[in-house]
Chain A
Amino acid sequence: MAAAPSRAAAFAPAAADDANLYRRLVLRRQLILAALALALFASLCIDLALGPARFGLDQVIAALFTPGSVEDSLRVILWQIRMPVALMALVVGASLSIAGAQMQTILSNPLASPFTLGISAGASFGAALALAFGVTLVPALVDYAIPLNAFIMAMLTALAIHFLSMRRGVTIETIVLLGIAMVFIFNSLMALIQFFASQQAVSAVVFWTMGSLTKATWPKLGIAFAVLAVVVPLLARHGWALTAMRLGDAKAESLGVKPRALRLEVLIMVSLLAAIAVSFVGTIGFVGLVGPHIARLLLGEDQRFFLPGSALCGALMLSVGSVLSKVIIPGTIIPIGIITSLVGIPFFLFLILNHKKNAW
């Protein structure tokens, strides 16, 4: 009916090399991921080298790749004592960071994390019940009372948020507020426990809530890794849909995504990740919040890069934290939860204040 107006030349099909620009962007992101992985390996080696007995990096690498060629003492210290702790830092860091990344994604809120949704607080409450009063939620497994209590309370918190959020009229803002309400409830309950508990029990509770990797063992590491290995592919399967969630529910729906169903499914999966991580090592704050933000600054929010990027950033943060916790005061291992907050937050502020690109 109508001919295109003369100025519409600007709208006519043009020979574009946008695809090539995009391919370069993808390549740059792959290089960033590779660099993060390399940094992570370096940090892991340094972490393994440090401790009451210091080893050279050459010794560590020899013990890693040719365990038969090194002294027994070195092999035992490295593989039996330090390795579970160092690897736990990676697995827990990756788990918390992925959990935070997906919570931020599905709730469209830059402050969402296992910490702010009350999952960590729930875990602390569960652990405190065991530490202060010997309450075991699964009496058959007394040896694992603390992590099991923590896990059960963390999952109950997540399920409470899940079921409350299914009520009609509950928006994503309400879900975040529910999480904050959970934090306050558990903090009050923790205070109550500490009020009634013995001096010794209070110390144990306080130490647990600081978060420490020294609780790591091979079996615990195996469980945490298994959960991570199951959840990550499930999240990756939803890669395009999760990326679309950041365009808002209306847009995501228009693209065929079912936001409500996806939100609930992902919330359960990442709660599981966070609950396992927190129940084994205690409250480690800020990794779940900051890890994803660093990944977002470096890699954007395409989940094909954002998901592995968040995992690597979280793992790297905690691994570097583990190194720092050993070197700041020689001979003392400072609880890692303190380090991640003290070092992570200024670094995070530096990043967001010095970055011109859209950070959220």
Chain B
Amino acid sequence: MVTLTLDRLSARYGRRQILTDISTPPLHGGQVVALLGPNAAGKSTLFRRILGLLEGEGEVRITGTRSERPIAYMPQDNGATAVLTVYEAVLLARMQGRRLKVADADLGEVDKALAELGIDTLAGRDIGNLSGGQRQLVGAAQALVQSPDILLLDEPTSALDLHRQISLLSILRRLAQERNMLIIAALHDLGHALRFADQALVIESGRLVDCGPCEQVVTPQMLRHTFQVEARIEPCSQGRPQLIVEAAI
């Protein structure tokens, strides 16, 4: 099973230090980890640093994988206007670093990724003509089609309607377990984090301030300190913890 450990990880853009000394216990495959933090806390930077797109001190240790490219990353959507169909855009993600010739197995993986996310009906559409939510699902398919051991998702639900937010997170949760995949998702909706994530990492001003099981990390104290909101966490009728926000401080 794949395991990811961050050891005293730092990153800087030019002279500006963005991440400082981020260390985590081993994060195991099969789990969903929510990456939480206010805007500009360094969540996207942490993803880019894990992926090796940014240099810095510290080490990203990955064990238990045979893949040459074990990590797939879904960045925030940028509304690209390439003249490509959805099918081509997803195939493209699968084929990076491979030969030009497309094998039937690759097409099979694309079919599977589109079907998993319920966007197989969009296959022939031009990506430039999709809504923001549809593009986000295509982005998720592009990450999934790479058959990664570790999946990094940067705000995967930010453009989705409520139904699709719940659906996507349910699917990701199921796939993490089925494929023993480690999913780390930057989420702004802490309710979703409580419902779908096993673990949570909280970063603030580029430093890791808490890390552990989601229910122990997402607390009224953390919400007050990190997000500046007064909130309660109470069990719902089914016993699941629910977040009730009262006011911004």
Interface residues of A (CB under 8 A from B): 1-5, 7-8, 10-16, 18-19, 21-23, 25, 168, 236, 239-241, 243-244, 246-248, 250-251, 253-257, 296-297, 300-302, 304, 357-360
> Are B114 and A18 interface neighbours, CB within 8 A?
yes
> Are B83 and A359 interface neighbours, CB within 8 A?
yes
Query: Cβ of A250: which chain B residues have Cβ within 8 Å of it?
Result: 75-76, 78
Report if A19-B84 is in contact (Cβ < 8 Å); known contacts: A1-B196, A5-B166, A256-B69.
no
Number of interface residues of B (CB under 8 A): 60
Query: Cβ of A13: which chain B residues have Cβ within 8 Å of it?
Result: 112, 115-116
Bound form: Cα–Cα A128–B68 in Å:
53
- Going nearest first, the 5 A-B pairs with the smallest beta carbon separation are A11-B118, A246-B82, A19-B107, A18-B123, A16-B120
Tell me if B117 counts as interface (CB < 8 A to partner A): yes
> Are B173 and A14 interface neighbours, CB within 8 A?
no
> Are B100 and A244 interface neighbours, CB within 8 A?
no
Tell me if B158 counts as interface (CB < 8 A to partner A): no
> Are A247 and B82 interface neighbours, CB within 8 A?
yes
Known: A3-B170, A18-B87, A248-B80. 11 other contacts (CB 8 A): A1-B173, A1-B198, A5-B166, A11-B171, A16-B111, A25-B124, A240-B95, A244-B92, A254-B51, A256-B96, A302-B88
Bound form: Cα–Cα A360–B111 in Å:
26
Report if A360-B171 is in contact (Cβ < 8 Å); known contacts: A16-B111, A19-B107.
no
Q: Which A residue sits closest to B166, measured CB to CB?
A: A5
> Are B74 and A254 interface neighbours, CB within 8 A?
yes
Bound form: Cα–Cα A11–B100 in Å:
30
> Are B170 and A302 interface neighbours, CB within 8 A?
no
Tell me if B236 counts as interface (CB < 8 A to partner A): no
> Are A16 and B167 interface neighbours, CB within 8 A?
no
Report B146 CB to chain A, min CB distance, Å: 8
> Are B75 and A10 interface neighbours, CB within 8 A?
no
Query: Cβ of A358: which chain B residues have Cβ within 8 Å of it?
Result: 81, 83, 126, 128-129
Interface residue ranges of B163-189 to A (CB < 8 Å):
163, 166-171, 173-174
Report if A4-B92 is in contact (Cβ < 8 Å); known contacts: A13-B116, A254-B74, A301-B84.
no
> Are A300 and B115 interface neighbours, CB within 8 A?
no
Most chain-B CB neighbours within 10 Å: which of A5, A247, A296, A359? A247
Bound form: Cα–Cα A94–B71 in Å:
39
Q: Which A residue sits closest to B97, measured CB to CB?
A: A256
Report if A12-B78 is in contact (Cβ < 8 Å); known contacts: A2-B170, A19-B108, A243-B84.
no
Q: Which A residue sits closest to B100, measured CB to CB?
A: A239
> Are A302 and B92 interface neighbours, CB within 8 A?
yes
